[in-house]
Amino acid sequence: MMTSSMLDRYAEVAGPEAVAGLHQMASRFDGQRVVHVNSTRTGGGVAEILFWMVPLMRELGLDVQWEVIEGDARFYEMTKSLHNGLQGRDIMIPPKWADAYHEANRAAAERLGPMLADADFVFIHDPQPAELRSLITDVRGHWVWRCHIDVSHPSRVAWKFLRPFVELYEASIFSMPQFSQAMTHSQFIIAPSIDPLSEKNIELPQEEIDNVRAQFELDPERPLLVQVSRFDRFKDPLGVIEAYRLVRRYAPVQLVLAGGGATDDPEGAEVLNAVQEEAADDPDLHVLFLPGDAHRTINALQRAADIVIQKSTREGFGLTVTEGMWKSKPVIGGNTGGIRLQVFDYGTGFLVNSPEGAAHRILYLLRRPNRIQKIGEAAREFVREYFLNTRHLREYLTLMLGLSHGITDRIFANGE
Ligand code: UDP
């Protein structure tokens, strides 16, 4: 059997059977062409996943490309609004935004058309490039729409716009059953995962963690709360600040809100401003705007934390939750979307519905260092079992095998 050094290293973390299984399944696809299309190479969970998935699929013998759809400012306004709408906010789609969406998809179809039409498998990620399937009519491979966002309660306007494009795919993938939609094609559930060997998640020397602490003037003697997120309202950074202020009445904690922008997210600057305004004049509240490649810095901040926070009000999955758990940290997570797949009360952290709830759970943990340690250890093992990229890759290969054999299993929304 073919082995390789990169995949062998995963065997050390996930077990040798996991890697052997991948080789076995992938041998069926040797040399087949796979194309992934999304809307950014940096920032946000999709880029984070493709960053390891593409090279690992290549190493397994597949011929894989990663392409990015691009557009003008109106396109990103439109797709951000669509994203907000799919996550439940009421939106409107002015005709000039819809035009920008069609224009960007037409330009991408022109540029990528021959490659996509000829591929054996095409994975289109999220709403931005979803129209591509309808613009490239003569295709030979299997086309799958992969939705990474929380579409449990989409706005009518947003779903009405997107659905005709999505229904043309052979299948779609959602992160959890609650996100599936009433559609006629096959729908599959695949939870995301992290790459344990990436710069974001690899073990770090204590010295490097200490240096990052010093760089951002964090006091090693006092407890640290960390939330890493794009500056996005659904990540509720202002709610985190509110929780931190409540905790501060009783414990001398410090808070880091760290994030950068994604190239496809035009709202980031506005949210960052609101957060900075709120945080002004508090030396223990650190708002860090980081470059897109600050993976080791984020890794060190998550490791420096006593408790990791992800107080989202909507969340497709929440890779930052997985990242914190992998670093043996209890996570205080918003009781929503994919965070519920990962965080269990008293098990791997706590699910919360309000700043008060978050403050209550943070104080509970801060007063019980043993619990912090026990829950942190359980969190790491939970990730090892369910949310490492070897499992994720196996499920992609299973889906690809299924599609090549013409499976028609479906799940339906509303238990139909
Ligand atoms: N991330 C990053 N830099 C930032 C903010 C986030 O590298 O400034 C990473 C974060 O570590 C995680 C991913 O981007 O790996 C965010 O994924 P998640 O599923 O948490 O949220 P999304 O941004 O996709 O909504």
For 179-245, the DSSP string reads G--S-SSEEEE----B-TTSTTTS---HHHHHHHHHHTT--TTS-EEEEE--S-GGG-HHHHHHHHH
The position carrying tokens 């498998």 is: 121
Name the pLDDT band for 358 (thresholds 50, 70, 90). Answer: very high
pLDDT at 4 (0 to 100): 55
The number of distinct structural domains making up the chain is 2
Indicate the average pLDDT of the chain. 94
How far is the centre of ligand 1, averaged over its atoms, from the C-alpha of 136 (Å)? 31
| Whether 315 and 305 share a structural domain | yes
Q: Are residues 221 and 304 in the same domain?
A: yes
pLDDT for res 412: 46
Q: What is the mean pLDDT of residues 243-247?
A: 98
Alpha carbons 129 and 37: distance in angstroms, whole number: 7
Task: For the full predicted model, state whether its pTM sits above 0.75.
Answer: yes
Q: Does 3 score more than 70 pLDDT?
A: no
Let me know whether 379 and 393 are in one domain.
no
> Does residue 59 sit in the same domain as residue 152?
yes
Atom 23 in ligand 1: residue holding the nearest Cα: 44
Are residues 182 and 48 located together in one domain of the fold? yes
pLDDT in tens, 107-158: 999 999 999 999 999 999 999 999 999 999 899 999 999 999 999 999 999 9
Is the pLDDT score of 415 beyond 60?
no
- What would the mean pLDDT of 402-407 be, rounded to a whole number? 88
Categorize the per-residue pLDDT at 244 as very low, low, confident or very high, splitting at 50, 70 and 90.
very high
409 pLDDT higher than 60 = no
* Tens digit of each residue's pLDDT (9 = 90 or more) over 60-74: 999 999 999 999 999
pLDDT in tens, 156-179: 999 999 999 999 999 999 999 999
CATH number at residue 145: 3.40.50.2000
Model confidence at 339, pLDDT cuts 50, 70, 90, reads very high
Mean pLDDT of 204-213: 98
Q: Maximum Cα–Cα distance for the chain, whole Å?
A: 64
pLDDT at 199 over 90: yes
Q: How far is the CA of 171 from the centre of ligand 1 (A)?
A: 26
Find the Cα–Cα–Cα–Cα dihedral 149, 153, 156, 158, rounded to 10°. Answer: -10
For the segment 255-275, the average pLDDT, to the nearest whole number, is 87
> Does 409 fall in a domain?
no
Q: What is the pLDDT of residue 44?
A: 85
Domain that holds residue 59: 5-193+388-404
Ligand 1 pocket by Cβ (under 6 Å): 44-45, 48, 200, 228-230, 259-260, 290, 295, 298, 317-320, 323
| Cα angle for residues 30, 33, 38 (degrees, 5° grid) | 130
Q: Going by CA atoms, what residue is nearest to atom 11 of ligand 1? A: 320
CB 97 within 8 A of CB 78: yes
Residue with CA at minimum distance from ligand 1 atom 4: 259
Q: How confident is the model at residue 338 (pLDDT cuts 50, 70, 90)?
A: very high
Q: Are residues 142 and 173 in the same domain?
A: yes
| pLDDT above 70 for 416 | no
Question: Mean pLDDT across the stretch 236-250?
Answer: 98
- Closest-lying ligand 1 atom to the alpha carbon of residue 42: 7
Q: Are residues 188 and 253 in the same domain?
A: no
188 plus 293 within the same structural domain:
no
Residue with tokens 């991948």: 22
Let me know whether 20 and 117 are in one domain: yes
Q: What percentage of the chain reaches a pLDDT higher than 90?
A: 91
